Structure 1
Amino acid sequence: MTWEVLSIIGTFAFAISGAIVAMEEEYDILGVYILGIVTAFGGGAIRNLLIGVPVTALWDQGLLFQIALFAMTIIFLFPDKLLKHWNKWGNITDAIGLSAFAIQGALYAVEMGHPTSAVVVAAVLTGSGGGLVRDLLAGRKPLVLRAEIYAFWAIIAGLLIGFELVKQPIELYILFIGIVVLRVLSYTFNWRLPIRSLHSTTKNQMM
């Protein structure tokens, strides 16, 4: 049940995120649906390829496809009412999708009996893979590759689940909320991972 709930939450949130990015880039209705579907299911497809699950397993998720289509249709039909709050709340849908899918991906790998390293990889790819493909198709710098903390929270989820420190449903829901809060805090207060710029090094050498 926990797995299914997280799948629904993640699919809904990422479908909205992909659709809104497509509309910001002024894509037509086909582009909106394609980018929304890719965002919602791209991470799961990449994860399946790497941990040995047939990609065709995605086609068995009829309910999730319906949820994604519903979310994208609502956004497309009523943009003025919904998108006026996007600048304030938009990143929250991405944070919700990241958290839900990272946990879901980790649980998937654990259920298949994979080691902790694979659990972490599954968490990162499921949580951020769809957003990575979305940003590339939209011609944007992928959020997961920026200095701003993003995929790090998926790694934390993967480690906690991989080492079985979190496994009960109530613990998983607390972890879900915690990852969402941390992700929101990280972009609100501009938390960043260490970065090394070659441009500044080259400039100093030239001086």
Structure 2
Amino acid sequence: MTWDLFNIIGTIAFALSGVVVAMEEEYDLMGVYILGFVTAFGGGAIRNLLIGVPVSALWDQGNLFVIAFIVMTVAFLLPSLWLDRWKRWGVLFDAIGLASFAIQGAIYATEMGHPLSAAIAAAALTGTGGGMVRDILADRKPMFLRKDIYIAWAMLAGLVIGLGWIQTMPGYILLLVAIVTLRMLSVTFQWQLPYRKLQH
């Protein structure tokens, strides 16, 4: 139940994110679907490869594919109803998708009996993998490689869950709220990880 809830939240948030990027790049309908699907499901596919889950498990998520397809179709056909709001709230939805998928990936890894390092990696890859593939296909610099703090919040979810500090639904909800809040604060106040720029 927990796994399914976070999967649905993340799928909807990231499918919409893919649709927005596709329309910004002026892709046609097929491009919208492709970018939306890889954003929503790419992170899970990458995670499965690295923690030993058969890639074919991706195709067992039939209901999620239907949900993503409906969301993307409505978003493409009726952009005027939500696109302006997305421009204001898009970062929030992206943060919700990041937190949902990161938590879901960490739960998945821990339930398989993998160590802490795998929980952190699964959280990071599930939370950011779809967005990474989306940005590469759209010829954009991947968000998690930019200076603002992004992937670190996903790794935090993996750390907390991998250490067993949270194991209940209320705890997962609180963790999701915490990660979304931290992500939004980092955007609002432009928090950055240390970086170096080479002088040419």
In structure 1, the partner of 2:79 is: 79
Q: How does 1:89-108 map to 2 (within 5 A)?
A: 89-108=89-108
Q: How many residues align?
A: 200
Deviation, 1:20, is 0.8
Give the alignment of 1:29-68 within 5 angstroms. Answer: 29-68=29-68
Shift of 1:87: 2.0
Worse-matched range after superposition: 149-158 or 82-91 = 82-91
User: Percent identity over the alignment?
Assistant: 62
Q: 1:22-66, CA deviations, whole angstroms, 9 ceiling, x for partnerless residues?
A: 001000000000000000000000000000111110100011001
Q: 1: CA distance between counterparts of 2:140 and 2:91? A: 15
1-structure distance, mates of 2:86, 2:172:
28
Tell me the CA shift for residue 88 of structure 1: 1.0
Unaligned runs of 5+ in 1: 203-207
What secondary structure sits across from 1:84 in the alignment?
helix
* Aligned amino acid, residue 143 of structure 1: M
Return the offset for 1:160: 0.2
Deviates more, 1:144-153 or 1:178-187: 178-187
Specify the SS of the correspondent of 1:19: helix
Aligned to 1:126: 126
In structure 2, the residue matched to 1:197 is 197
> 1:77 deviation in Å?
0.8
Structure 2 counterparts to residues 163-182 of structure 1, below 5 A: 163-182=163-182
| C-alpha separation in 1, matches of 2:61 and 2:87 | 31
Amino acid in the other structure paired with 1:78? L
Q: CA deviation at 1:70?
A: 1.1
Deviations 1:152-202 (A, max 9, x none): 000110000000011111000100111111111111211110011112xx4
Runs of 4+ in structure 1 off by over 3 angstroms are none
1:182-193 pair list within 5 angstroms: 182-193=182-193
One-letter code of the match for 1:82?
A: W
Shift of 1:108: 0.3
Q: Which residue of 2 aligns with 1:205?
A: none
Distance 2:129 2:8 in 1: 17
RMSD (CA atoms): 0.7
